[in-house]
Amino acid sequence: MRLSDYIEQSFTNLWKRKLRSFLTTFGVVIGIGALVAMISFGKGIQKNVSESFTQLELFNYLTIFTDSALLRLGDPDIRQEESTDDGSKTVLDDKVIEKIKGMKGVEAVFADIRFPASVKFNQKEEFVLIQVLPSELAASKLMKLRMGEPFVQDDDLALIISDSLLSRLKVKEFSSALGKEIEISTLAFDFSRINPMDLSSILQGDTLPFARESYTFRITGIAERMGFGGPTPLRSDMFIPPGVAKGLKTLPFSNLWDLFRSPKQQQGYALVNVKVSSPQNIELIKEEIRKMGLRSFAMIDHFEEFKTGFLFLDMVLAIVGMIALCVASLGIVNTMVMSILERYGEIGIMKAVGASDRDVKKIFFFESSVIGLLGGVFGLALGWVVSGLINQVVNYFLAKQGVPFIQYFSFPWWLCLGAVAFSITVSLLAGIYPALRAARVDPVVALRHD
């Protein structure tokens, strides 16, 4: 038999039993559709994360901290023990920053400085942690500006504000805020108010050793809220240049323990962010930093953990899809076995006029693979349409909460081809038993007239 004949025969035979063929194929369509939607969701999420990482150049960032900074995050009792142990730890100060700046492949180094302040604008007041950001980074890809410009000079009294903070300040038209003046008030130490012998009054809030200082800034840019903003080196709703920041009187702590620590002024910065020119350089730079007695953390290392998580997610999603497909393949087996019982005589006739076992086997294999092909193609289409709808609905509701539009599903070419190929493979597997059974039909028995 010719290939074209097999194909024509299988379509003809399936067409003869339209309803049953349709229902069986529809089962495969649902199975493949579920599988495709599930995998494309897993891949879409993964693509979103890795794309935003790449887009924001997150793989190019390294965070440096000291051992003591690490301990500070933990139990304060341990810190006290350890700190007496070795006082000669490297301090993350400007000298160290200069040294790291000199390393090969390092593009920028900036201390992670954030300080609390209150922001007054549009007759509203909000409390924020302002981050100090060098102007070259304000102009980098890391900073996604929705409108306006980044500040260009480090001593400019200018700032970048995020759109979500503007929303909180009840600004409706973001562009109207551009160029406007904004008031920032910080709290600063006022030593005249403090009496070290009477901590209890401080803790009770009777005599706070703070004074309020106000500054006026100009809004130059409005930053976009990031979809996956968590792990970026930018962790704030407001950014000011370092030159200006140096002039601000403020409390350089974000942790209550800092307040009561020995005022040795040796602790340096808690965290320093390093931008490297390429992710390939990260390992070497990390090694050098380790030699300096400092600890570092790179997003790219973290991404490996993400990948493991994604693999797990993919597997769970694929298993759900596979279950649907398994049910569908049982449908194929059922349909094909039914078809053999109905066509018992026909198989006998075909054998009597010269069909070999292989011919009969192939006829049934082609029929189930046509079910698989149609199921695969339409299943892919169904998965695409359904995931598109889900995407629209989800984004519609998330947009109300200010989340930017995200494509949650991804259809790489290998998924499209793979889905159809997989569908055909599963159908062929489902067709093995029926095909072997058809080939075993004894023409003498099949043709015996009753």
Partner 1 sequence: MSAIIKTDRLTKIYTMGRVQVVALKDVTLSIERGAFLGVTGSSGSGKSTLLNLLGGLDTPTSGTIEAQGKAISRMNKDELARYRRHEVGMIFQSFNLIPSFTALENVALPLLFAGVAKRERRQRAMEVLDKVRLAPRRDHRPSELSGGEQQRVAIARALVNQPDLLLADEPTGNLDSRTSEEIVRVLADLNQRQALTVVMVSHEERLLREFSSHLIHLEDGEIFEGEGAG
Q: Toward partner 1, which CB reaches closer, 18 or 400?
A: 18
Q: Is 357 in the site for partner 1 (CB under 8 A)?
A: yes
Task: Tell me how far, at minimum, the Cβ of 32 lies from partner 1, in Å.
Answer: 30
Q: Which is nearer to partner 1, 293 or 345 (CB)?
A: 345
261 secondary structure, DSSP code: S
Which one-letter DSSP state was computed for residue 172?
S
Mask 58-97, x = binds partner 1 (CB under 8 A)? ----------------------------------------
Residue 159's DSSP bridge partners are 219
C-beta neighbour count of 51 within 10 angstroms? 14
* Range in contact with partner 1 (rule: CB under 8 A) among 135-143, 193-201, 291-299, 348-356: 348-356
Token pair for residue 362? Answer: 């192939």
Helices (H) and strands (E) in the chain, counts: 16, 11
Give the one residue of 174, 359, 398, 433 binding partner 1; rule: CB under 8 A. 359
Sole window of 44-52, 274-282, 368-376, 442-450 interacting with partner 1 (rule: CB under 8 A): 442-450
Give dist(CA 305, CA 273) in Å, integer.
Answer: 21
CA distance 75 to 95: 29
What is the footprint of partner 1 within residues 389-428 (CB under 8 A)?
none
The residue range among 3-11, 69-77, 122-130, 424-432 that interacts with partner 1, by the rule CB under 8 A, is 3-11
Is 55:265 a contact under the CB 8 Å cutoff?
A: no
Q: Where are the alpha helices (DSSP H) in 86-171?
A: 94-101, 135-138, 163-168
Residue choice 196, 262, 354, 401 for contact with partner 1 (CB under 8 A): 354
Q: How many whole angstroms separate alpha carbon 294 and alpha carbon 304?
A: 22
- How far is Cα 384 from Cα 389, in angstroms, rounded to an integer? 9
Identified binder of partner 1 from the candidate list 137, 350, 373, 374, rule CB under 8 A: 350
Q: Are 255 and 72 in contact (CB under 8 A)?
A: yes
- Which strand (E) or helix (H) includes residue 185? strand 181-189
Alpha helices in 66-112 (DSSP H): 67-72, 76-85, 94-101
Bridge partners of residue 154, in order along the sequence: none
Does position 444 bind partner 1 by CB under 8 A? yes
Residue 126 touches partner 1, criterion: CB under 8 A = no
**208/352 with CB nearer partner 1:** 352
Based on the shown chain and the rule CB under 8 A, indicate whether residue 352 belongs to the binding site for partner 1.
yes
CB of 428 to partner 1, least distance (A): 22
Judged by CB under 8 A, which of 170, 290, 307, 358 binds partner 1?
A: 358
Of 116, 242, 345, 418, the one binding partner 1 by CB under 8 A:
345
436 binds partner 1 (CB under 8 A): no
Q: Which of 306, 280, 308 is nearest to 62 (CA)?
A: 280
Among 355, 370, 373, 415, binds partner 1 (CB under 8 A): 355
Candidates 226, 292, 313, 349: give the one binding partner 1 (CB under 8 A): 349
Pick the binder of partner 1 from 4, 200, 262, 401 (CB under 8 A): 4
Please choose, out of 252-260, 356-364, 366-374, 420-428, the segment that lies near partner 1 by the rule CB under 8 A.
Answer: 356-364
10-39 residues near partner 1, rule: CB under 8 A: 16
- Give the angle 123-254-199 at the CA atoms, nearest 5°: 100
Using rule CB under 8 A, residue 342 touches partner 1: no
Say how far apart CA 238 and CA 10 lie, in whole Å.
67
Q: How many residues bind partner 1 (CB under 8 A)?
A: 24
Q: Is 449 in the site for partner 1 (CB under 8 A)?
A: yes
Residue 291 vs 449, nearer CB to partner 1: 449
Residue 64 CA to residue 134 CA, distance in Å, equals 17
Q: How far is the CB of 7 from partner 1 (least distance, A)?
A: 12
d(CA 138, CA 240): 9
Angle, vertex CA 132, rays to CA 128 and CA 136, nearest 5: 135
Interface residues toward partner 1, by CB under 8 A: 1-2, 4-5, 9, 16, 345-346, 348-359, 443-444, 447, 449
